[in-house]
Chains A and B, each alone.
Chain A
Amino acid sequence: MTLRQTLEQAIEDLKKEVAKMADFALYNLREGLNAFKTTNFELARQVMKADDEVDRFEEEIAKMALKIIWKEQPVASDLRLVTGILKLITDLERIGDHASDIAEMTLHLEDNRNQRVLPLTSKMAEIVEEMVLKSIQALVRVDESLAETIIQTDDSVDQLFQDVISYVTAELKKETIDPNEAIYVLMVAKYFERVGDHAVNIAEWIIFIAKGKHKNTMLF
């Protein structure tokens, strides 16, 4: 017989809820980029509104985690999982915020746009989405080696962000991009770069969940 079925069930439910939250945030991120790419104001507004749901998830998960702490007084791997989740939902919530921010940038843009910078931003978005997706998988499986790969991927995101800056700067010098558009394109790229950082933070909390270590510091 497995003992502590209540605790095991509560932890399963908690993990499922975090996965749902992450799916939701990821969906918003994709739709936010879609809205930006296609200058779809309606979609942009929907994404911005959907962020409330991500915030509700954060509160709900925090409640579930706190309840496990006071009712079950978890130790060892259970304690690391519950506290790690309490920390990483902050990053998930921020990813949701940035999805909303990206959607909001759409509202500042005109229809006729410089199409040359979009592929770079899309490439960034693609890598960042993959990082977020992997972070969900790594959490569900408590897979520290997958978490490590997420951390390593971040360098390429940072590089792409630098490329976007160089590209936009060059376009500005040639006066082939509207300065207003340049600002929003750069902001969108910056938001994706930040989402990459949050995926890295999540990966670091997954390594904590696996080993009790956060960025090479034992937290216990």
Chain B
Amino acid sequence: MTAQNPIVFQIENLNLFYGEKQALKEISIAIYEKEVTALIGPSGCGKSTFLRVLNRMNDLIDSCHITGNVTYHDQDIYQPKTDVNGLRKSVGMVFQKPNPFPMSILDNLIYGPKCQGIRDRFLLKQIVEQSLKQAALWDEVKDRLKESALALSGGQQQRLCIARTIAMKPEVILMDEPTSALDPVATAKIEDLISSLKQDYTIIIVTHNMQQAARISDKTAFFLMGELIEYGDANQLFSTPENKKTEEYITGRFG
């Protein structure tokens, strides 16, 4: 047995409601540092909702309220005094469809750091190069940084979005089905990227692609109708799941 990495997020008895409707029920789970955690489950099971709990993206939905504890490095992130912008800087997010800003590749990458008050051109240049290299995009775009990000292919755009997240020097990257709009080659590049990024970041990814979860995740959580049914090492969950519902879902017997 290898030693467990430190805990980044500790969630206890989390309930989330959209108005009257309960979308998450009594979720208790720990997310570990520098691991890839995959969230799987059928549509509407609450996995994306859960992902958005982690950087308070659900705040944008008026009717949404939660009970229970969500701590990030022992800080309750739902305390009124929480600096939500600071939280979202530390806990970045990549979405299903690549959503680069309609500006140049360069501007996409320096937009965030500039908002943070970084003006030093040398430093900004360094951030651009580092984040593009980490996102495995540098070699493809280094000679066309001034071109529009929208001219990139879908896969490149998604890697740019990952680079843009990295440019903010986060600790955690949330990914909501980051490859579902991409072809197999672009998907494979993102998967390789995720595996290399976990050296430096904690990654939590929602995916509908079971094989993807099996390929890239260290731990996998299976959600069903707002409940966390099973959570454990991906190795164990995909070979010898403990719960019959997990077994039925991952073998494709229902879902």
Contacts and interface: CB of A to CB of B under 8 A. Distances in A.
B151 to A, nearest CB: 36
Given A212-B240, A220-B236, A2 B253 contact: yes
Interface in B205-225: 210-211, 214
B240 A76 contact: yes
A23 interface: no
B240 A4 contact: no
A219 B239 CA distance: 9
B23 to A, nearest CB: 25
A136 B253 CA distance: 26
Chain B interface extent, by class: 10 to 19
Given A3-B253, A3-B255, A80-B240, A75 B210 contact: yes
B211 A73 contact: yes
B191 interface: no
B12 interface: no
Nearest to B240: A212
The interface residues of chain B, by DSSP majority, are classed as helix
Interface string A196-220: 0000000000000001100000111
Interface stretch (B44-52, B141-149, B192-200, B244-252): B244-252
B207 to A, nearest CB: 14
B239 A7 contact: no
B251 to A, nearest CB: 5
Contacts, number: 43
Contacts of A74: 251
Interface in A42-79: 73-79
B241 interface: yes
Nearest to A7: B252
Most chain B CB atoms below 10 A, which of A4, A211, A220: A220
B101 interface: no
Interface residues of A, number: 17
A77 B247 contact: yes
Contacts of A4: 251-253
Contacts of B235: 220
Interface in A162-220: 211-212, 218-220
Given A2-B253, A4-B251, A76 B238 contact: yes
A76 B254 CA distance: 14
Given A80-B240, A212-B240, A75 B253 contact: no
A3 B240 contact: no
A73 B210 CA distance: 10
Contacts of B251: 4, 7, 74-78
Contacts of B255: 3
A114 B241 CA distance: 57
Contacts of A211: 240
Interface in B97-140: none
A79 B240 CA distance: 10
Given A73-B211, A75-B214, A3 B254 contact: yes
A133 B152 CA distance: 63
A2 B236 CA distance: 25
Contacts of A77: 247, 251
B254 A75 contact: no
A75 B239 contact: yes
The 8 closest A-B pairs by CB, nearest first: A220-B239, A212-B240, A4-B252, A75-B238, A75-B250, A76-B247, A76-B251, A78-B251
Given A76-B241, A76-B250, A77-B247, 6 more contacts: A75-B214, A76-B247, A79-B238, A211-B240, A220-B239, A220-B240
